[in-house]
C-alpha cells in the first residue's frame, strides 16, 4: 500500500477513534469508551506493522481452479 494512502487511513482511523471516545464519554458509556481507547491505536499500529497480502499469478490461478472444482 502506498505511503500516502496508509498515512491518510491512519489519520482517519485515529480521528474516528478519538471522536468515538469523546462521544461515548458524552453519552456516559465508559466500557465502549475504553474499548475505543484500545482498539483505535491497535488498528493504526496493526496497519503499519503487518504487511499487505500480495497474491501471485499462480495463487489466483489455483484459487480459480479450486472454485471450478467446488461448483462441479
Residue 40's pLDDT is: 94
Burial class (CB in 10 A: 0-12, 13-18, 19+), 27: exposed
pTM recorded for the entire structure:
0.68
* Domain ranges across the chain: 3-71
* Each residue's pLDDT tens digit, 8-24: 999 999 999 999 999 99
Q: What's the pLDDT tens digit per position in 29-72?
A: 999 999 999 999 999 999 999 888 777 766 666 666 667 777 76
User: Which contacts qualify for 42-51: CB closer than 8 Å, 24 or more apart?
Assistant: 43/13, 43/17, 44/10, 44/13, 44/14, 47/6, 47/9, 47/10, 47/13, 48/6, 48/10
Amino acid at each position: 500500500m502506498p505511503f500516502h494512502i496508509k498515512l491518510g487511513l491512519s489519520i482517519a482511523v485515529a480521528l474516528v477513534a478519538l471522536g468515538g471516545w469523546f462521544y461515548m464519554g458524552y453519552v456516559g458509556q465508559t466500557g465502549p469508551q475504553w474499548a475505543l481507547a484500545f482498539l483505535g491505536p491497535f488498528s493504526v499500529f496493526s496497519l503499519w506493522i503487518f504487511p499487505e497480502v500480495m497474491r501471485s499469478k499462480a495463487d489466483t490461478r489455483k484459487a480459480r481452479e479450486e472454485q471450478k472444482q467446488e461448483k462441479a
